Amino acid sequence: MDSFFYCLGQGMRNIRRNSLFSIASIATMTTCLFLFGVMYFVLINVEHIIQNAESNVGVTVFFTEGITDAQRASLQADIEGIEGVKSVTYVDAEQAWEYYKSTYLEDVDLASFNGDNPLKDSDSFTILFESVDYEESLVATLQSQEYQNKGVRKVNSTQELIDTLQKVNKAMSIGSFSIIVLLLFIATFLISTTITMGVSIRRREISIMHLIGATDIFVRGPFLVEGIVIGFLGSCIPLTVLYLLYFKIVALIVKQFSGVVQALSLVDVNEVFAFLTPVVLIIGIGIGFLGSYFTLNKQLAKIRQL
């Protein structure tokens, strides 16, 4: 216990002695992990939105003119039997018109329509999938001559929208990863510089400790504590700020883009930080420890050669 508290005390003194480099290391680590958290906020919510969109994405099938109720019922049964189809919902023209009015024409004077339904020929099936992976094959099947003969006039697909969202998500992931790796490299370099300064200041003391039989663990302890404390502080600060900001960020997004966000659901803060907290702590403390460890190997090897 005496050795533990000695290493802890010396590690804290090292941070105070090299306060400039220590603050720079903590600030860089904080910036890096804060950006990591922001990127994670964006990525997990975009992925969540895409998953919700995929679970509700559907193909709309319009019928040929003059199709009978019996033909429509037979067509629905055939479509329900296709692999990957989760549900087939019939939407008549009146339902389609009511939805269109409430969604897009809420503030528009409808007197000019004279009670007519401009979507009178828009009876359709809305088809949902078990997975969006089935959409391409299903659309090809429904556009085949066989289903055209059964009463399929037109098929509207949303695959292009899903592909675009997935490409955006992938591009954001790659860009975020590149930025984070660069910042982590800078943070590791600054921690290494801080430890090097500490070893240089205590070079004579370390040499004497070796001469009187101090173990490597005893010599390394204070510097490893120093790196771990820097990593820990560099993790806790951004976690605290991110937690406080998440609610405000969500509120701001909802306020500025209320028309869009109403149809979307963002990830709950507890779910976000259940993953983010341990990951950020592991990254911060891990970089602090590894940066100190490898720097010590190099610096202590030089001292032994003197």
Average pLDDT on 239-247 reads: 86
Element (H, E) at 91: strand 85-91
Amino acid in the structure at residue 1: M
Buried b or exposed e, range 89-122, using 16+ CB within 10 angstroms: eeeeeeebbeeeeeeeeeeeeeeeeeeeeebeeb
Answer whether residue 210 shows pLDDT above 60.
yes
- Report how far residue 126's alpha carbon sits from residue 191's, in angstroms, rounded to the nearest whole number: 58
The residue type found at 82 is I
More confident residue, 263 or 220: 220
Q: Which residue in the block uniquely carries the two structure tokens 């930080």?
A: 273
pLDDT at position 54, please? 64
Q: What is the pLDDT of residues 22-35, one digit of tens each?
A: 787 788 788 888 88
* Residue 60 · residue 99 · CB < 8 Å: no
User: Distance between CA 38 and CA 192 in Å, rounded?
Assistant: 26
Q: pLDDT tens-digit profile of 36-66? A: 888 888 778 777 777 776 666 678 888 777 7
Q: Tell me the H-state helices in the chain.
A: 2-17, 19-56, 69-80, 93-104, 135-142, 145-149, 159-201, 203-211, 216-256, 258-261, 269-305
* Residue 137 pLDDT grade (very low, low, confident, very high; cuts 50, 70, 90): confident
pLDDT the model gives residue 167: 78
Region 58-157: CATH code: 3.30.70.3040
Measured CA to CA, the distance from residue 53 to residue 263 in angstroms comes to 10
Q: Where are the domains of the chain?
A: 2-53+162-305, 58-157
Q: What would the two tokens of residue 175 be? A: 């860009």
Query: Distance between CA atoms of 174 and 166, rounded to whole angstroms?
Result: 12
Residue pair 150/74 in contact (Cβ under 8 Å)? The answer is: yes
Residue 278's pLDDT is: 92
The pLDDT score that the predictor gives to residue 99 is 57
Please report which confidence band the pLDDT of residue 141 belongs to, taking 50, 70 and 90 as the band edges. Answer: confident
Instruction: Taking residues 236-255, report their average pLDDT.
Output: 80
- What are 248-262's pLDDT values in tens digits? 776 676 666 555 554
